[in-house]
């Protein structure tokens, strides 16, 4: 319920919230997260006035909010060819992880060496843009609509409840918060993927058996009823030789439900400590270990997703379908985190590694709301959901936040015909790879969701041996 102002989706108000002073400059608004950071930088660099709103005290989305150093899918699996140039590559290069303008990388899922330094980089880039206003510790919590346009978004922060009147809203909350509040059609998967609390432990003396013994200790904790669920565990000595970064916590919950989200944060933290204490008790090398940090936020893989002008399907991805209005390229594998304990891996069943595929502009346009466009909450077929989100980070103005998204006062959907990224080079057809590859891949994926696929020899066994040791899985 939003007090004051025009009739909101939730009703009328007692006193008008202050019109945020920034609003007087007539900004177009979007949020700072991994997709939002790129969208806002792209738009500001293309001359659009932007207001960035972020609930955390820093930008960067999951990279900084959950402490995730991965830039998965920035390069394709087979040739390590960069498929998301533009701002994602710029961020990666400015973190010193590759040469500026690199066309190929060493890995298809490289990492940055310090998520704290990524906060500083984001601050520096945001402050360098005169067209950009930034508000941290600010939650976008409501929207009011007139006709098919969002006419105001309500923000909650230390100044109380404020209202901004953006011309275009780029909702990169990850959960389609504003699109949903504005009445745009959204949907949820029948079973949402679980959340994960990443954490770090210091002063660990790594041994050749560390990962195997950690896995066994976690299985015992799980079988003993101390640990409801887990995956892997994935242990990486990523940030320092005696510091282990852990991705293993698994908590089923709906991140768009405030009570469930609160419970998940508490459960995630408890499970992280349960693992830490089991390792300290049972695994040589953890005797003098100490718990450094978790989160700060639990990682939410999926909640609501907008029903876009186009819904990208698994078939589109597995067949690497090309779209006239492609604005980004994805290439990450189809993965699904089950709500169950999985040992030595994060996923259920085998995975399918598609060739690079297009993400059409229309997937970012929520139906029935003309001046809005989306972030992670893209309309995708079930299994394809998660792998695409980061790809719209293919900035440089091709996406909704960029010069096409609401430039010149036009609504994002007015640009649908113009939003076209020059088609990237198709991967050369490897002999025998394509012949029947499509139908073989179709067969593989067809079986995938229905579990029949287990019995078939997969095209790509997963995780790849090099992948296993890099991800710290025994």
Ligand X SMILES: Cc1cc2nc3c(=O)[nH]c(=O)nc-3n(C[C@H](O)[C@H](O)[C@H](O)COP(=O)(O)OP(=O)(O)OC[C@H]3O[C@@H](n4cnc5c(N)ncnc54)[C@H](O)[C@@H]3O)c2cc1C
Using the rule CB under 6 A, is 343 a contact of ligand X?
no
DSSP assignment of 275-340, as one string?
HHHHHHHHSTT-TT-EEEEE-SSPBP--SEEE-BSS-B-HHHHHTT---TTEEEEE---B----SS
State yes or no: residue 56 binds ligand X (CB under 6 A). yes
List 19, 93, 139, 240, residue binding ligand X (CB under 6 A): 139
Backbone phi and psi for residue 179, each to the nearest 5 degrees, phi listed first: -60, -45
Q: How far apart are CA 390 and CA 120, in angstroms?
A: 20
For residue 229, state whether it binds ligand X (rule: CB under 6 A): no
Give the residue, chosen from 22, 40, 43, 62, that forms a contact with ligand X under the rule CB under 6 A: 62
3-state secondary structure at position 249: strand
Q: How far apart are CA 77 and CA 132, in angstroms?
A: 35
Q: Which residues pair with 249 in a beta bridge?
A: 230
Q: Is 23:133 a contact under the CB 8 Å cutoff?
A: no
Establish if 301 lies at the interface with ligand X (CB under 6 A).
yes
Considering the complex, what minimum distance in angstroms separates the CB of residue 289 from ligand X? 22
β 326-330/357-360 pair status: antiparallel
Query: Is the Cβ of residue 375 or residue 397 nearer to ligand X in the bound state?
Result: 375
Identify whether the C-beta of residue 372 lies closer than 8 Å to the C-beta of residue 145: no
Ordered DSSP codes for 183-201 = T--EEE-SSPPPBB--EEE
Residue 73 as a binder of ligand X (CB under 6 A): the answer is yes
Q: Which CB atom, from 216 or from 237, has the smaller least distance to ligand X?
A: 237
Q: Is-contact 74 83, C-beta < 8 A?
A: yes
Task: Identify which of residues 344 and 447 has a Cβ nearer to ligand X in the complex.
Answer: 344
Task: Give me the phi and psi of 350, to 5 degrees please.
Answer: -90, 170
What is the distance between the alpha carbons of residues 201 and 205, in angstroms, rounded to a whole number? 11
**61 binding ligand X? (CB under 6 A):** yes
Binding mask 167-196 for ligand X (x = CB under 6 A): -----xxxx-x------------------x
> Considering the rule CB under 6 A, would residue 5 count as an interface residue with ligand X?
no
- Residue 312 β-bridge partners: 380
Give me the sign of the Cα torsion angle 246, 248, 251, 252: positive
Rounded to whole angstroms, how far apart are CA atoms 258 and 127? 32
Q: Determine the interface stretch with ligand X among 55-63, 118-126, 437-445, 458-466 (rule: CB under 6 A).
A: 55-63
Q: How far is CA 203 from the centre of its chain?
A: 30
Q: Smallest gap, in angstroms, from Cβ of residue 66 to ligand X? A: 6
Only one of the segments 69-77, 200-208, 224-232, 351-359 lies at the binding site for ligand X (rule: CB under 6 A); that segment is 69-77
Please, which residue, 232 or 474, has the CB nearer to ligand X? 232
Check residue 375 for interaction with ligand X (CB under 6 A).
yes
The smaller minimum CB distance to ligand X, of residues 249 and 278, is found at: 249
CB of 282 to ligand X, least distance (A): 25
Mark the segment that binds ligand X (CB under 6 A) among 66-74, 145-153, 260-268, 282-290: 66-74
* Count of residues in contact with ligand X, rule CB under 6 A: 33
Nearer to ligand X, 200 or 280 (CB): 200
31 binds ligand X, rule: CB under 6 A: yes
Q: Binding to ligand X by residue 33, rule CB under 6 A?
A: yes
Binding test (CB under 6 A) with ligand X, winner from 66, 345, 353, 363: 66
The footprint of ligand X (CB under 6 A) covers 31, 33-36, 53-56, 61-62, 65-66, 68, 70, 72-73, 139-140, 172-175, 177, 196, 299-301, 375-376, 386, 389-390
């Amino acid at each position: 319920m939003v007090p004051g102002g025009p009739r909101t989706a939730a009703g009328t108000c007692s006193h008008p919230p202050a019109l945020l002073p920034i609003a007087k400059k007539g900004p177009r608004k979007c949020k700072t997260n991994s997709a939002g950071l790129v969208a806002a930088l792209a738009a500001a660099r293309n001359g659009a006035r932007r207001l960035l709103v972020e609930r955390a005290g820093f930008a960067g989305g999951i990279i900084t909010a959950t402490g995730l150093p991965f830039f998965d899918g920035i390069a394709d699996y087979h040739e390590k060819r960069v498929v998301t140039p533009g701002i994602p590559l710029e961020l990666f290069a400015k973190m010193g992880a590759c040469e500026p303008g690199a066309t190929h990388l060493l890995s298809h899922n490289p990492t940055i060496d310090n998520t704290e330094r990524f906060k500083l980089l984001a601050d520096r880039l945001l402050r360098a843009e005169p067209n950009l206003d930034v508000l941290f510790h600010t939650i976008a919590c409501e929207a009011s609509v007139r006709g098919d346009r969002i006419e105001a978004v309500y923000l909650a922060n230390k100044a109380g409840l404020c209202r901004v009147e953006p011309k275009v809203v780029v909702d990169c909350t990850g959960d389609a918060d504003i699109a949903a509040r504005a009445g745009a059609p959204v949907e949820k998967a029948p079973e949402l993927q679980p959340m994960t609390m990443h954490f770090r432990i210091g002063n660990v003396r790594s041994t050749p058996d560390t990962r195997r013994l950690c896995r066994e200790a976690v299985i015992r904790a799980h079988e003993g009823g101390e640990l409801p669920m887990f995956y892997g565990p994935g242990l990486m000595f990523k940030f320092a030789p005696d510091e282990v970064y852990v991705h293993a916590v698994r908590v089923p919950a709906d991140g768009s439900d405030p009570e469930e989200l609160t419970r998940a944060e508490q459960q995630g933290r408890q499970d992280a400590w349960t693992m830490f204490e089991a390792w300290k008790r049972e695994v040589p090398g953890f005797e003098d270990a100490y718990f450094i940090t978790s989160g700060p936020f639990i990682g939410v893989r999926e909640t609501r997703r907008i029903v876009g002008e186009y819904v990208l399907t698994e078939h589109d991805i597995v067949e690497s379908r090309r779209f006239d209005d492609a604005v980004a390229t994805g290439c990450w594998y189809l993965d699904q985190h089950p709500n169950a304990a999985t040992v030595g891996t994060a996923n259920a069943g085998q995975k399918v590694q598609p060739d690079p595929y297009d993400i059409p502009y229309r997937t970012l346009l929520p139906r029935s709301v003309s001046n809005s466009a989306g972030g992670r909450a893209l309309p995708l077929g079930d299994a394809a959901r998660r792998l695409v989100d980061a790809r719209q980070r293919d900035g440089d103005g091709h996406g909704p936040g960029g010069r096409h998204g609401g430039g010149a006062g036009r609504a994002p959907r007015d640009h649908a015909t113009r939003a076209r990224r020059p088609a990237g080079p198709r991967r050369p057809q490897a002999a025998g790879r394509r012949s029947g590859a499509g139908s073989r891949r179709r067969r593989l994926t067809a079986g995938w969701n229905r579990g029949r696929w287990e019995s078939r020899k997969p095209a790509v066994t997963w995780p790849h041996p090099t992948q296993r040791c890099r991800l710290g899985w025994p």
